[in-house]
Amino acid sequence: MSADLAISLNDKRLKIYELLKKGYSGEKIAKTLGISRSAVWKFVEKLRSLGYEIDRNYNILSIPDPSPLDAALCSKKLGVERFLYFEEVDSTNNVAKKEERSCVLAKRQSAGRGRLGRKWESKEGGLYFSFEFPRKVPAVKAHRVTILIGLVVAKTLENFKAKIKWPNDVLIEGKKVSGILCELVGEELSSRVIVGVGINVKNELPEELKDKATTLKTYNVSVTDVFCSFANTFSEIVNLEWNRILEEWKRMLDTIGKEVEVRVGGEIYRGVALNVDDEGALILKCGDKIERIFSGECFYM
């Protein structure tokens, strides 16, 4: 599968786009950037092929959603060097694994993957992207990245009353709106972390998911806006101390105090979620026993 747009984040074409948005003429763009008018024309043709409506005077009449160029500009905040956009791809995580220091965004996925080997519904209208976390991480600390990303998603959607269900599902009014799939590549002591995020924005959900999943449809937001807001929030949080991240994450967690069932491999634990520890593990009171659970699937009873 080849990308519909693959661009380095210091490519001059991003500047062309910014100047087009400011209403500059082809001639003025060429002059400002020291490039030929035919280079501008060629890029305008590329934009048209990506779904941007641009008239003969280079006025932008309409912008597609997601807007690959706006997303590329925002992806600078994720600490990546390259941006790839696909109208359709199997899974953005698969591409991001192969492309170092990249952010990969797709309009739809033909084989979107969820946690525990599940499928992730990825119809047009949702936000599906993956990127390489800007630092390498020892495998034993990878759960911290997942927690951080859960917090970023929850904060991105805070105005829509988003909450986190342990360990990292983001819910609105009790229904899942986003999922995170972090995958490790490379060595145990210093792994690349591929962060995959799916957010239901205005995609149609299949009937069988409607009682447990939700979208942002009623809020009338664009896929591009949600992506850019994620990238901004990420840049504000990524360098905070672990304790601060954990504290913020706990503030947005709505699992504490609830009666839950947690499935870990073949084991099932039922009890009351008492707290989370310093690494985000769930402290569960199961009858007289206290269990400490690192990861698993959690259901509210």
**What does the binding site for ligand BTN look like in residue numbers (CB under 6 A)?**
91-93, 109, 112-115, 118, 120, 128-130, 179-181, 196-198
In whole angstroms, the minimum distance from the beta carbon of 231 to ligand BTN comes to: 15
In whole angstroms, the minimum distance from the beta carbon of 197 to ligand BTN comes to: 6
- Pick 14 or 177: Cβ nearer ligand BTN: 177
- Pick 145 or 181: Cβ nearer ligand BTN: 181
Which amino acid belongs to residue 210? K
| Nearest to 247, CA basis, from 237, 235, 233 | 237
In b/e form, how buried is each residue of 50-89, taking b as 16+ CB within 10 angstroms?
bbbebeeebeeeebbbbbbbbbbbbbbbbbbebbbbbeeb
Query: Angle formed by the axes of helices 12-21 and 26-33, to 10°?
Result: 140
In whole angstroms, the minimum distance from the beta carbon of 14 to ligand BTN comes to: 23
| Nearest to 8, CA basis, from 102, 78, 91, 93 | 102
- Pick 11 or 87: Cβ nearer ligand BTN: 87
Whole-number Å distance between alpha carbons of 135 and 133 = 6
Residues forming a β-bridge with 6: 84
Q: For the chain, what is the radius of gyration of the CA atoms?
A: 21
Please, are residues 144 and 242 in contact by the beta-carbon 8 Å criterion? yes
- Pick 162 or 197: Cβ nearer ligand BTN: 197
In whole angstroms, the minimum distance from the beta carbon of 92 to ligand BTN comes to: 4
- Pick 113 or 143: Cβ nearer ligand BTN: 113
Whole-number Å distance between alpha carbons of 104 and 140 = 26
In whole angstroms, the minimum distance from the beta carbon of 101 to ligand BTN comes to: 17
- Pick 17 or 120: Cβ nearer ligand BTN: 120
In whole angstroms, the minimum distance from the beta carbon of 239 to ligand BTN comes to: 24
Q: Cis peptide before 206, with omega less than 30 degrees from 0?
A: no
At 206, phi and psi to the nearest 5?
Answer: -65, 150
Q: Which residue is nearest to ligand BTN (CB)?
A: 179
In whole angstroms, the minimum distance from the beta carbon of 60 to ligand BTN comes to: 28
- Pick 206 or 257: Cβ nearer ligand BTN: 206
